[in-house]
Every structure is written in C-alpha cells, then in structure tokens.
Amino acid sequence: MTIYQPQSSAAASKPQRDSAYKTALAQFDRAAQILGLESGLYEILRAPRRELTVNFPVKMDNGEIRCFTGYRVHHNTARGPTKGGIRYSPQVDLEEVRALAMWMTWKCAVVNIPYGGAKGGVVVDPKQLSLRELEALTRRYTTEITPLISPEGDIPAPDMGTNPQVMAWIMDTYSMHRGYSVPAIVTGKPLNIGGSAGRFEATGRGIMFTVREAYRTFGWSFDGIRIAIQGFGNVGSITAQTAHEMGCKVIAVSDIGGGIYNPHGIDIPKLRRFMKEHRSVTEFPEGDRITNAELLTLQCDVLVPAATENQITADNAAQVRARMIAEGANGPTTPEADEILLENNVVVIPDILCNAGGVVVSYFEWVQSLQQLFWEEEDVMHRLERIMVRSFHDVYETALRMDIDLRTAALVLGIGRVAEATRTRGLYP
C-alpha cells in the first residue's frame, strides 16, 4: 500500500496562490499525513468532485443588461448529499468556493451528520442591488445551477450576503421548475414556508455552547469571561447575544467599518436595537472606537473571529492576547498563525467544529421539510447543544489520544470519517 507523502505528491507540489484554498489544502495535507492515507484515497479526498461556473445576464432597473458570474462546487458525497451555503460577495472566486466546500465536508463529518460538502457563490455586492434586481439575480442563478441541486443531492443554504428571503426565492424558482412545492431544496428559509425554528440563531448559539463546554472540560471558570467578537452580522451578533445571556462580558465588537471597545462590557441587547437603524457599530456611543486589527489583539478571555477568512496571520498572531480563539468564520486563521498560537499556548477551537451549529440545524430543517413534521425551538436547541457538546468531546479526546492540537484533531476526525465511508462504498465501476 502506497502512503501519501506531501513532498513527493504532484498535487501537493503544484503551486497554490495565497488563498483560502491554499489554507484548506495545507490543513488537509497535515491531517492526511497523520492518518497515513493511501495515495489513491488522498487524491480522491483532496479534489472537488464537481465544479460548475455559470455566467448569466440580469436586467437591471434602468433597463441595462449586466452579466454576473456564479459558482457551485461539490467537494465530496461519500457520506450523503452535499450541503453548503451560497455567498454573494464581490470577492467570491472559484478558489474560495472550493475551500469552503472542502471545509463543509469535514465539518459535517466532525458533527457526524450525513452530508458531504458543497458551496456556492455569485460575484456581486448585494448592497448595490435593488430588491427586484436581487430577486432577478437569485432566480436566474438558481436556474443556472438547477442541474446540480436537489433535495436528495445538494441542498443550498444562506451564507455571507444571503438570507432567508434569498432562500425563499431559490425554493420558489426550483419549485416552479418542478411544478410543485419542494421545501427541502434549501435550508435557512423563512418559517412560513417550512423553515426551522432556531435556524437563524444556530451558528452563534453553537459557538457559545462549544466555548462553554471547552471551559468546563478544561476546569476553567466560565462566569463573566471577557469576549471580543470580530464581525457583527448574523453569526457575530447572535454569538454576542448568547454570550450576554450566559453571563459573559462582551468587551468589543466590530463590523466592516471598524469596532467599539468597552472594558466594562457592551450592552448587547441595546446595541442590537441600535443596529436596526444604523449602518455600523462604530456609531454606537457607549464605547471607544477601535479598528478590526486592534480588536484581534485585545486582552480578553475569548476572541471570536466571525468575519471572513485569513484574519489571523503570521503578521499578527504573536500579538493575540486571548486565552482562547473560537472560530466563528470559516478559515479565519492561516496555518502559519496556527503554529505561532500553539507556541503561545492559545487554545483554538477550529471552525469546522466551532461554527458547525448552522449546518446542524440546517440538517434538522431538511429532515423536518422532508417529513413535513416540525419541531419546537426548545427541542431544536436541546438537540443542537447535545450534538455540539458531543462533537467537542469527540475532537478533544482525539487530541488527547494522538497528542495533537484541536484543529488537527478535528481534521483527523472528520477526514478519517469521510475516508472510512469512501473505503466502505468502494469505487464505481
């Protein structure tokens, strides 16, 4: 049996640009070497199964025709249908979508739900479109990717720049093509068309369930811990709200325009009400203005990067003063930064574990949509907490047994489960 060796692999030696995908591949290579993956299995798991790039026209409000580019990538289907969000962002490219799809594969395996990983995106700034233009773009993009999506094969969800309304348009478009309603085609949709109670809050709450369990496991006091959160969108704001409800002190938050810092704690419910009428947290008067870069280096107990990829790098990792990093975003820490954080004894709860609450409750929503039998929010949250706690201990025990850090343990656990499923299924034909 040939064992994968990074230095001799043609795929590993192929130059990669500095991107989220480069980070994802580097993480995979490290875990693959620890697992001793056969060379053939290594090649299967490292590459996306299929990729679709689409270019499509949309008629704007002024009558102009504009063309947009979109993507949908399926990384792996060994454990079940693919699952992953759709991102609307000017920075989206195929490499980013590949990385996000790969991370979704490992994430679903880490929390042990029967999905593979997928991701989608459109190169667009949704804030620059009218509501009608956004709907037209969504419906046309849905039509373009219809050959890849289905309730049995690939189920999209919201991500950066998309929301429950976008999911409703996707569901309606797909249903019009089929001639009947297909609520299970997407998750993260509004409650009145088959969404799940607790889905909007799931990622943020899952982050705090995981942080609390980590503190309990390490024997650390959780009461009144100081938390700094980069990003105040869906994930960041719900994380802040949940932390506040758990008795934590949120001392700093930020968004794309910058952040605010209050060492005595920010009134999160008041800030969330404030944000319904204002564009940036920097306008909130009860704190000192700071930059996103400054937030990452604040003295705190838990740092939650909940914005975008590659925020903690070799350039700033040594300045991180948090006791723990809980990754709310996908890929916020580069491999080089990981090495520095490990040397400085900073505990990192990796993204594929920490922010998996969203896909867990998406799975619940998919099951409910297929059965047309809906659960109460209390039941959803209880099931979510149970899975996040169990998954943390699965990762922690792997780290102890193999004497590796939590990120590597999560990757070894997730990749190992996908590898096992691939071996069991065999090769076709």
Domain boundary among 349, 367, 396: 349
pLDDT at 16: 40
Domain boundary among 316, 333, 349: 349
DSSP 2-58: PBP-GGG-HHHHS---SSHHHHHHHHHHHHHHHHT-BHHHHHHHHS-SEEEEEEEEE
Give the residue numbers annotated as catalytic, written as ranges.
119
* C-alpha–C-alpha distance, residues 252 and 263, integer Å: 8
* C-alpha–C-alpha distance, residues 13 and 6, integer Å: 8
The one-character DSSP state at 195 is: P
* C-alpha–C-alpha distance, residues 183 and 368, integer Å: 10
Same domain, 116 and 217: no
Q: At what angle do helices 406-425 and 94-110 cross, to 10 degrees?
A: 90
Q: Which two tokens stand for residue 270?
A: 């008041």
Same domain, 42 and 92: yes
Domain boundary among 179, 214, 238: 179
Same domain, 274 and 173: no
- Does residue 389 lie within any of the structural domains? no
- Does residue 428 lie within any of the structural domains? no
- Does residue 405 lie within any of the structural domains? no
Same domain, 174 and 208: no
- Does residue 286 lie within any of the structural domains? yes
CB 252 within 8 A of CB 276: no
* C-alpha–C-alpha distance, residues 234 and 166, integer Å: 15
Enclosing domain of residue 239: 202-349
Same domain, 101 and 208: no
* C-alpha–C-alpha distance, residues 343 and 100, integer Å: 27
Q: Which two tokens stand for residue 146?
A: 């219809």
- Does residue 188 lie within any of the structural domains? no
Cα-atom radius of gyration of the chain, to the nearest Å? 21
- Does residue 373 lie within any of the structural domains? no
- Does residue 345 lie within any of the structural domains? yes
Same domain, 172 and 314: no
**Sign of the alpha-carbon dihedral angle for 140, 142, 143, 148:** positive
Total domains in the chain come to: 2
CB 266 within 8 A of CB 260: yes
* C-alpha–C-alpha distance, residues 249 and 301, integer Å: 10
The one-character DSSP state at 344 is: T
**Mind listing the pLDDT tens digit for each residue in 367-390?**
999 999 999 999 999 999 999 999
Same domain, 173 and 251: no
Burial code (b: 16+ CB inside 10 Å, e: under 16) for 108-141 equals bbbbebebbbbbbbbbbebeebeeebbbbbbbbb
CB 96 within 8 A of CB 104: no
Same domain, 128 and 231: no
Reference 204, options 176, 245, 169; nearest CA is 245
CATH of the domain at 134: 3.40.50.10860
CATH of the domain at 337: 3.40.50.720
Same domain, 305 and 218: yes
* C-alpha–C-alpha distance, residues 12 and 8, integer Å: 8
pLDDT at 191: 95
Q: Which two tokens stand for residue 27?
A: 């993480």
Same domain, 123 and 42: yes
Same domain, 109 and 67: yes
Q: Which two tokens stand for residue 51?
A: 């990729």
**Mind listing the pLDDT tens digit for each residue in 319-347?**
999 999 999 999 999 999 999 999 999 99
Q: Is 73 left (phi over 0), alpha (psi -120 to 50) or beta?
A: beta
Which segments in the chain show pLDDT lower than 50? 7-17
Starting at the edge strand found earlier in the chain, the sheet holding 302-305 runs 288-290, 258-261, 249-255, 226-230, 302-305, 324-326, 347-349
Going from the C-alpha of 94 to that of each of 11, 13, 19, 287, 369, the distances in angstroms are 18, 20, 11, 39, 30
Same domain, 341 and 214: yes
- Does residue 359 lie within any of the structural domains? no
* C-alpha–C-alpha distance, residues 43 and 25, integer Å: 12
